[in-house]
Structure 1
Amino acid sequence: MTQASLARQIVDYANRADPYPLYAELRRTPVLHEEEGGPYIISSYWDIEALLHDPRISSDAANLAAAGDDSLSQAEDTGLPPSFIRLDPPEHDRLRRIANSAFGPPHRPHRVYDMRDEMRAIVTELIDGFGDARQVDLVDQFAYPFPVTVICRLLGVPREDEPHFRTLVDPIVAGLDPRTQLDPVASKAAQEGRLQLGMYLAGLVDQRAKEPRDDMLSDLVGGKGPHGAMSTMEVLTTSVLLLIAGHETTVNLITNGMLTLLRYPEVLDRLRKDPGLSVKIVEELLRYEPPVQFVPQRTNITDIEVRGVTIPKGSRIWLVLAAGNRDPERFPDPDRFDPDRGDIEHLGFGSGVHSCFGAPLARLETQLALSELARRLEEPRLVEDPPPYRENPLLRGPRHLNVAFKELR
């Protein structure tokens, strides 16, 4: 293995099932710059953490375009203005504060937590839907529909519209797969799905402006928080962000979680007996098998120095979160899955101003999903290990996870 091939190997599908030996190799050169015009790849925990908090590092779409970053593919193009994760302060901060006032503390501290019973009911319904089957694809039959339904309820999509909403979401999520981007038919379907989703949400925003309800969309439209109001386009952009970014991340977190538990049956047995262990398990999963492997959408607005290496202004920077999460300089025995790990300040949801906005929701969804699957599946086992993975090297998770079991409890 040569250093010059590491970046290509990281994105090579052949290494999707186990990229961690590559990350270990990457950490030998914490600031790797393989070729002129190529990205600077950062792989150590402390360097990643520092750069995520460094105001000289930009996420602004305009700065990324100037740096020649083509990673913002057509699949991410919603036809709307950039969401706040593609902006820098102060505009990022303004929009995020408004969004958070409708989503979490201090203004809506119980919005996500108060959905706990409803989430549990959705999980129960999905598992009951396995029926008499003794083998299921946990991606298609559980991990995929669960967060879509939750986001519908959170935003305030009418129950009768949920099936239609899912038909709009399916081609959009499929469009995140690099293979789909090369398929003209699938790519067109994704583009049409984005257009139709935008039109649907615009209609819903108009309804909530006239008849507000107790849902997140009404709060965003009403703009009654202390930080002002969003424009209609900003409401649409934020809603699409929550839908697409939140959904794909949670699907992978749940699926990676169940895959890991089936590989560590002693931990799965502990979870079955003690559902409260799910809190520790999810945090360790976010370190051990994070759904977001690396963040390529960063550039620097001035020269910076990392580990004695000068990164020139306007360079592309990759922050490999998954490599930092297994950095032995930060975590003892990092390649061991250990939910009893005492110090677990992982990078699974990023850090700094762009830390994952939907983290409280994803955590709760995954805790409920894994604890109920552990409780209700009798003697589960993997049908195929490793399972087939998604093409996307950034949002890493199995495309299918076929699990056989004796019966449902």
Structure 2
Amino acid sequence: MARKKFLLVVTIIMSLFLLVGCSDDNDDDNLSTNDKGILQVQVSIPNEAEDIARVEVDVKDGTKLISANDTEVIEDNKAIVALDDMTINTDYTVEVRAINNDEYVIFHGEQDNVKLLTKDEINDFNINLKKAEAKYVFYMIGDGMGANQRELGESLLQVIEGDSTARLTMNTGEFTTRSADLPITDSAAGTALATGSKTNNGMIAELPNGTELKTLVEAAKEEGMATGIMTTTRINHATPAVFAAHNDSRHNYNDIAVDYLDSGVDFFAGGGYRYFIPQGTTYLGRNLDSEREDGWNLIDTFEDEGYITFLSEEESEDFIDYLPAAGDKVFATFTNYGLPYDINRQNLSLASEYREELLNIQTPSIAEITQKAIELLSQDEDGFFMMVEGGRIDHVAHGNDIAGTAYDTIAFDKAVEKAYEFY
């Protein structure tokens, strides 16, 4: 049975935003005015066009493309797209394509019912838009992933599936990622992704002057939403950190780990347990590496705060078998560093970065982690916000490992697929 809910999926460097609103019908023809406002494009889809998944709308001035948007279909075979603050100074045409669930165009035509909303209509539109806020938000970040990595991953996917038409699930677009102080960003400047404000390379959810910035996770908590942060690298690495911590340096890993205790995040999963346990920790008969020198066992503190914890590679299977219950909180760190590159995770005999006694242990994939987060966080009636990072795409690409880059890109795409399956 289909769920009645709104879903927002954001993929970074890729981005897909779902915007849904309602407004009164209009019969106006093409509009000619110099006013500014919200341009409403209301398109009528033929009744015979069934199983519509989305509508793509191109607004054109002659042959010049002014704007391209897509929206989910609303009632009575109609869809609405809002284009903010446009100056209408000529007659526009609207080209419409209706796409079904199999990604086939089932309607293609031109329509001209375009109007500029009045002030009252804008207010009505904003009210309806607010009612349609996303209940479930996936913020998906492929660290170090650009067009080349995606093309490489898709090529490998076609070979694996024996299908030259196979495509990655992620729908992609591009935007600038420079930081406040340099044209080339680093992961910590993902602060812009988490807060909407650019900062200097290396800073975690703070402006260059040290002012702390509210993150999307913090904003979601204020709205009563459940929250989750998961990554294939260290859980306190720069990108996950900018969503749940504040620090002047991404390299203060121990301090960032402590910040997580106060974050209120409901679900953490990734690597990097060495920043959460004291020196000399022995677990399940094995000595675990540690970077802490203050004797603080943060895993014990998380448990005192009501978290169910999964520590080290040996608890990977327990995590996969875990059945989340409403109200649970989870903190999972499976490795001392990042999770293994996915080519190594799938082919344990290649996992030379792990000690010999761990070669038979397969840690969870980012898709499995995402699925477990969905199972838990979706039980919150207020919805959820989760940040999912394919963090080791960047690391494996630094090593000029083409095969590893392709595998990690596909692994991240499978996590994106989990979001779509949930919707």
| TM-score, normalisation: structure 1 | 0.26
| TM-score, normalisation: structure 2 | 0.25
- In terms of fraction of residues, the more helix-rich structure is 1
- In terms of fraction of residues, the more strand-rich structure is 2
Bigger relative contact order, structure 1 or 2, given CA contacts below 8 A and separation 6+? 1
